[in-house]
């Protein structure tokens, strides 16, 4: 059951304290057809809100019950994904529901846990701790999603460049392979050996492994037990605050320690991503050695904003890159195709508002007309404004 439903890499808390229980529960409930992954997700939310109710009471017995319920809620939260993978009935909406309910559970439990302790002790540190928990939980998952999005964007860019080079050279090369995918599929094999065995390999983590060679050995040792190297992730952060802290009676200390550890690991993740972007730049330069735009060369229509005035300025001389004018490399956008569309009036550079001589902002003869000139909208816009005036009345 673990081979069928568990992830290849997961948080150490999940591997050690959740999966052994979740897989055994899954064996019992998988036979019932009326139990769906979304139903388990709703059950996890309600149990989590129940733990928040006990956290709000604030006494020792309630904190212990609340910690136990929170762990049960997290087990159910893991079961819904396993059930979806086992039966193959997972949906996109179910993944979204699971993510949103996790954030709701953390929010309510954080407010209830810290609020209950504040009502008992009247210490403002618990209010600060609640803000820290909510902020770091949001930061962790927003940052993870954004880094994932940027990684997919880099991979797509490299694949497109590889495809363009293959078409230009009319060569039959194998598709691009990323080293992180090879390491994920072969966790016990060295990166250098995988690069020798596979063709057309792109490594976006080469600098990080070169600077920290011990990381590869640590990663391989953890992956033998399905543990990911990110030892303090959002999961461990939640468990230390909502389970360990209430059980040992040191909520503030557990929150402070877990917050510091999560912040340090997030800095490491950001540093690793920064090195990955440098590897990405190197790979792109190797695939497209010719720069896209020379230094100081910008198409005229790209810099002619409303703050630019015409007339007295010299004509723009486009710089050519590899014999191709910049105007051709970056052509002006095509007109809007909607026949009923009326754009805003074009800015007039030779006319404008008359400034007072005592104003200090402009002097006579500075390129402004004596009287303001307005450009009325087209007939289509007048009809729209008439309709809007009728709606307003």
Tell whether the model's pLDDT for residue 288 goes beyond 70.
yes
Instruction: Give the whole-angstrom CA distance, residue 107 versus residue 135.
Output: 10
Instruction: Give the whole-angstrom CA distance, residue 98 versus residue 313.
Output: 58
Instruction: Give the whole-angstrom CA distance, residue 51 versus residue 111.
Output: 12
Instruction: Give the whole-angstrom CA distance, residue 5 versus residue 275.
Output: 33
Which residues are paired to 227 by β-bridges?
10
Q: Which of 4, 69, 88, 76 is nearest to 39 (CA)?
A: 76
By mean pLDDT, which of 56-60, 193-197, 261-265, 300-304 is the weakest?
A: 300-304
Instruction: Give the whole-angstrom CA distance, residue 259 versus residue 21.
Output: 27
Tell whether the model's pLDDT for residue 352 goes beyond 50.
no
Tell whether the model's pLDDT for residue 49 goes beyond 80.
yes
pLDDT for 387: 61
Instruction: Give the whole-angstrom CA distance, residue 269 versus residue 279.
Output: 15
pLDDT for 1: 84
Mean pLDDT throughout 220-247?
90
Q: What percent of the chain has pLDDT over 70?
A: 72
**Cβ–Cβ contacts within 10 Å for residue 247, how many?**
16
pLDDT for 45: 96
Mean pLDDT throughout 136-151?
91
Instruction: Give the whole-angstrom CA distance, residue 4 versus residue 86.
Output: 7
CA 28, 33, 37 angle in degrees (round to 5)?
Answer: 80
pLDDT for 369: 44
pLDDT for 365: 47
* Mean of all residue pLDDT scores within the chain: 79
More confident residue, 359 or 230: 230
Instruction: Give the whole-angstrom CA distance, residue 101 versus residue 81.
Output: 13
By mean pLDDT, which of 60-64, 194-198, 216-220, 297-301 is the weakest?
A: 297-301
pLDDT for 41: 95
pLDDT, one tens digit per residue, over 314-328 is 444 445 555 566 566
pLDDT for 305: 47
Tell whether the model's pLDDT for residue 362 goes beyond 80.
no
Q: What percent of the chain has pLDDT over 90?
A: 42
Q: Dihedral of the CA atoms 65, 67, 72, 74 (nearest 10)?
A: 160
More confident residue, 191 or 373: 191
How would residue 295 be classed by pLDDT, with cut points 50, 70 and 90? Answer: very low
- Give residues with Cβ within 8 angstroms of 199, minimum separation 6: 173, 174, 177
More confident residue, 390 or 114: 114
Q: What are phi and psi of 111, to 5 degrees?
A: -65, -40
More confident residue, 6 or 200: 6
- Taking the model in full, what pTM does it have? 0.70
More confident residue, 337 or 71: 71
Which residues are paired to 325 by β-bridges?
320
Chain centroid offset of residue 108 CA: 23
Q: Which of 27-36, 306-315, 317-326, 348-357 is predicted most confidently?
A: 27-36
* Beta strand 324-325 pairing with 320-321: antiparallel
């Amino acid at each position: 059951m673990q081979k069928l439903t568990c992830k290849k890499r997961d948080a150490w808390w999940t591997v050690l304290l959740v999966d052994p229980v979740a897989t055994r529960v899954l064996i019992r409930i998988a036979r019932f057809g009326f139990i769906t992954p979304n139903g388990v997700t709703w059950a996890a939310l309600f149990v989590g809100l129940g733990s928040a109710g006990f956290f709000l009471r604030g006494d020792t017995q309630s904190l212990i019950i609340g910690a136990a319920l929170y762990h049960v809620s997290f087990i159910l939260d893991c079961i819904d994904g396993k059930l979806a993978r086992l039966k193959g009935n997972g949906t996109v909406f179910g993944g979204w529901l699971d993510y949103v309910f996790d954030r709701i559970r953390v929010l309510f439990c954080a407010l209830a846990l810290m609020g209950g302790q504040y009502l008992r002790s009247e210490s403002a540190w618990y209010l600060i701790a609640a803000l820290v928990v909510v902020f770091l939980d949001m930061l962790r998952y927003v940052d993870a999603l954004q880094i994932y999005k940027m990684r997919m964007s880099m991979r797509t860019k490299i694949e497109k460049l590889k495809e363009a080079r293959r078409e230009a050279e009319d060569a039959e090369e194998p598709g691009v392979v990323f080293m992180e995918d090879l390491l994920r599929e072969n966790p016990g094999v060295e990166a250098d050996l995988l690069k020798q065995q596979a063709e057309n390999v792109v490594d976006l983590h080469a600098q990080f492994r070169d600077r920290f060679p011990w990381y590869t050995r640590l990663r391989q040792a953890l992956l033998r037990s399905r543990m990911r190297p990110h030892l303090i992730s959002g999961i461990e952060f939640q468990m230390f605050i909502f389970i360990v802290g209430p059980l040992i009676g040191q909520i503030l200390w557990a929150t402070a320690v877990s917050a510091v550890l999560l912040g340090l690991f997030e800095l490491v993740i950001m540093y690793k991503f920064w090195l990955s972007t440098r590897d990405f730049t190197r790979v792109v330069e190797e695939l497209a050695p010719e720069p896209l735009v020379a230094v100081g060369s910008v198409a005229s229509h790209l810099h002619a904003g409303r703050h630019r005035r015409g007339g007295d300025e010299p004509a723009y001389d486009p710089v050519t890159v590899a014999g191709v004018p910049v105007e051709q490399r970056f052509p002006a956008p095509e007109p809007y195709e909607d026949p009923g569309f009326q754009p805003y009036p074009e800015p007039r550079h030779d006319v404008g508002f008359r400034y007072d001589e005592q104003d200090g902002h402009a002097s006579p003869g500075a390129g402004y007309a004596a009287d303001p000139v307005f450009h009325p909208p087209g007939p289509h816009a007048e009809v729209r404004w008439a309709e809007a005036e009728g709606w307003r009345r």
